[in-house]
Amino acid sequence: MITESKNGEDIKSESCPTCAVCGSEGEFIYLKQQDRMFGASGEWNLKRCTNEQCLLIWLDPMPVEEDIGKAYARYYTHTSLDIPGRLGALKREYLTQKYNYQFGSASYTIPGTRQFLRFPPLRHSGADGDVRFLHAVPHGRLLDVGCGSGDWLLSMRELGWEVTGVDFDENAVKVGRQRGLTINCGALEQQHFSNDSFDAVTLNHAIEHVPDPVGTLSECVRILKPGGKLVVFTPNGSSLGHRIFKEYWRGLEPPRHLHIFSFQSVRCALRQAGFQKMSVLPQVADSIIYESYLLRRGYRGSFVGARRRWIIWLFARFFCSIERLLVKWKPSIADCVAVIAEK
């Protein structure tokens, strides 16, 4: 099957009738969805797994693997907003206390900081996400799958990690290499890393982009050292935001998001891959709610560099404040999920 394109970038696709995680049949939830943000060709249908213990969402038909790159022709590279040099004093102190990171001459203790850091607003100020829940490992080897041009890898190298990246975007890889980073181009499974190579592997909003998520996670098991950590961030298809915004929910993003996980399906996929020890954590994302509201209002185009609509942004912040209260009662309604697994 070939989608029709206005720009000559046809994306071939193939039928994908069953769930990649549990093998169950799916039922269509949205039909003829288009890429509202980056103009990739085609109309795309989404299915949800009928197994209540899974609830994976996926594209059917799905782009064939050799054509997936065409969906990224106008895509942007995700970047990290915080790097160690820009971390505030409280974040540096928090990362030192909780994750044992050292900041050299820039590291100092503020009197009374330990007491203040016990309060939830400061404990959850985003510092955990800055290091993706990874504790310091002196000279530890870190692999970031879907690293883009490597902003986050640069920040982790400053914190003492030996860093490597993988990304299939040739332009992003080129930029990362120009910055002195070791970044390989292609899928993780194509890199042929040695067994037990890495102390940590991260996939920050990358697992939803791969055609065989269980296979990719299995490769992570193989290349991790015993006791090594895998950290995965991904949109949650069972979230409150998805229930409200439906086909306009930002986390769907067809045709680049091939699989959208739930709390149940991400656990199932990790177990199939060989992980037994894992923590699944809710993550609230203001940007997903903000962009979902804009999409529902008819917005088309990239959000990167776009002028912020402040009334809608304030609504999104209010929505997420309510969500942060609700996830304490029901974590599975959060718009994103983070998983920390150990080999």
Q: Where are the domains of the chain?
A: 13-72, 84-342
Segment-wise mean pLDDT, segments of 10 residues, the chain, 343 residues: 51 95 97 93 96 97 91 66 54 85 61 48 67 94 95 94 93 91 95 97 96 97 98 97 97 97 97 96 94 94 85 94 93 96 97
Q: CA–CA separation, 90 vs 294, rounded Å? A: 34
**Res 196: pLDDT:** 97
Nearest to 104 by CA among 152, 160, 145: 160
Q: CA–CA separation, 84 vs 207, rounded Å? A: 26
DSSP 309-327: -HHHHHHHHHHHHHHHHHT
Block residue for tokens 């044992």: 100
**Res 87: pLDDT:** 61
Block residue for tokens 């955990």: 128
- Quick one: 84-342 is in which CATH superfamily? Vaccinia Virus protein VP39 (3.40.50.150)
**Res 105: pLDDT:** 54
| Structural contact between residues 252 and 265, judged by C-beta atoms closer than 8 angstroms | no
**Res 91: pLDDT:** 79
| Structural contact between residues 210 and 187, judged by C-beta atoms closer than 8 angstroms | yes
Residue 14, strand partner residues: 62
